[in-house]
Amino acid sequence: MFRTGVARWTMTYFGAAFVSFAVAQALIALGLAYPSAPLFAPWTFVAVHLITIGWLTVLILGALRQFVPVITATQPEGDAVAGWALVAIDIGLLAMVAGFVALGGNVPWAASPWLPLGGALVIAGVVADTVIIARPIWRTRPLPLPARFVAAALAFLWVTVLLGLCLALAVARPGTLPPDRVARLLVDGLPLHLLAGIGGWFTLTAMGVGYKLLAMFTLAPEHRGALGDWSFRLSAGGLALAAVAGCVTIAAPAGGAAGPAVLVLERAGWLAAAVGVALYLVDMRKLYAERRRRELELNGRFAAWALVALGAGLALLVAAALAGQGTGWAGPLGYVFLFGWLSGLSLSQLYKIVPFLTWLERFGSKLGKGPVPRVQDLVDEPRARPWFVLYFAAVGVGAATGFAGLDGAWRACSVLSLAASLAIGRELWRIRHSPPPPAAPSVPRG
């Protein structure tokens, strides 16, 4: 084990996350969940939460424990807490799955205890993890740009899980809340839960991590200037405004509706966030253009594909808002964000993070004392590349068939994306577990 700041449990988080990712895609491929089942069907809830909690949240929390020390120049801390937090999150997720399945009936247990219980366990794990991640951020103010994104994202993570717990109570134990509040929660709370989760927690984190990692590994300037600042202010501020307006709507007195001013605020928030994300995409294009390392490695190349998915998702979201497509496009739109942008970016960056950490652990202490292999000697990009192409192609075609209403074709695409994910998982496994490659004669003097 290398003696420097490699956070313990990070790889365990990645492994656990990957299992959830595969199971969720298998549910879709087998026709148990959306699009074969309705969007609000129990098995769809299972698949969605396996993706959002089991895959993306666990993956990001594991990565942040390693990543925040790098952007705040501190050492990773809280190893013991992180181990227990992962156990709490995954056991909580299993309980939630049991609760969702029970919503559909046909099982000999009730949803009522399992959903809130599972949700509470997930919250306990998430709170523990966010505390150990947020402490170094808090200590190193004023924050660099990527850390500002992460700090805002952590706040949205709390909003997301707390709302999720309220929703779990509304669905599983409606008796605990006033009847009109239950209806209000389900109608207005669910979109807010999605906004805070996909927009606030996942997308803001991915934006911040993208800024730092892609600048580091393509040798582009890290200081993004006014464009980066405004991309942060508008996206995080706009989402916060929309979230506050949403909370006001939910908390409005029974029978009364929130006033038109609240609706205007909410729309202004959405618009600002859309402009912020658009500025980010412009800045990312600039970052790629300014990079000093012309030859892109696999992670840089496919991160660009994920950014294209973010741009497409944003354009479709705006189009849906203009066309008044409320929930009609919700499924395919969510798919573009969760599978194209977030999972696509995650898979591509894992292909850099896993070999980097593996190399540090294996060879860090041998550096300078004899020849060691290079990080790139641990990977086989030509072998992995076709699977990344297949993954993004399957998700792209899948989304198109989803918007066209061809659910059978969409499901077929999910079989392909599952196969590609499993193959990428196998590549990551090989990076971790293959015998060490021969040592490079010496490091190229760049």
Are 57 and 157 contacting, i.e. CB atoms less than 8 angstroms apart?
yes
Would you give the end-to-end CA distance of the chain in angstroms?
Answer: 28
Residue 142: strand, helix, or coil: coil
- 337 versus 351: smaller Cβ distance to another protein: 351
Q: How far is the CB of 386 from another protein (least distance, A)?
A: 25
Tokens of 328: 């009609």
Count other C-beta atoms under 10 Å from residue 93's C-beta.
25
Q: How far is the CB of 69 from another protein (least distance, A)?
A: 7
Q: Per CB under 8 A, which of residues 155..184 are in contact with another protein?
A: none
| CA–CA separation, 105 and 82 (whole Å) | 35
Q: Per CB under 8 A, which of residues 88..147 are in contact with another protein?
A: 139-140
Regarding 293 and contact with another protein (CB under 8 A), the answer is yes
Q: How far is the CB of 226 from another protein (least distance, A)?
A: 18
| Per-residue binder mask for another protein (CB under 8 A), 49-88, x = binder | --------------------xx-xxxx-x-----------
Regarding 294 and contact with another protein (CB under 8 A), the answer is no
* Candidates 43-51, 213-221, 243-251, 259-267; binding stretch for another protein (CB under 8 A): 213-221
Of the candidate residues 1, 107, 216, 254, the single one contacting another protein (CB under 8 A): 216
Of the candidate residues 120, 158, 222, 415, the single one contacting another protein (CB under 8 A): 222
Q: Per CB under 8 A, which of residues 320..379 are in contact with another protein?
A: 356, 359-360, 364-365, 367-369, 372, 375
Q: How far is the CB of 24 from another protein (least distance, A)?
A: 32
Are 29 and 411 contacting, i.e. CB atoms less than 8 angstroms apart?
yes
- Cα of 108 vs its chain's centroid, Å: 34
- Cα of 334 vs its chain's centroid, Å: 12
Of the candidate residues 253, 255, 256, 292, the single one contacting another protein (CB under 8 A): 292
Q: List the one residue out of 45, 49, 23, 20 whose CA is nearest residue 34.
A: 45
Q: What is the chain's Cα-based Rg?
A: 22
Q: Specify the length of the chain in residues.
A: 446
Tokens of 69: 């020390």
Are 410 and 388 contacting, i.e. CB atoms less than 8 angstroms apart?
no
Of the candidate residues 80, 87, 107, 219, the single one contacting another protein (CB under 8 A): 219
Q: How far is the CB of 425 from another protein (least distance, A)?
A: 24
Tokens of 277: 């994300």
Q: How far is the CB of 443 from another protein (least distance, A)?
A: 5
| CA–CA separation, 103 and 154 (whole Å) | 30
Binding site for another protein (CB under 8 A): 2-6, 69-70, 72-75, 77, 139-140, 216-217, 219, 222, 292-293, 356, 359-360, 364-365, 367-369, 372, 375, 442-446
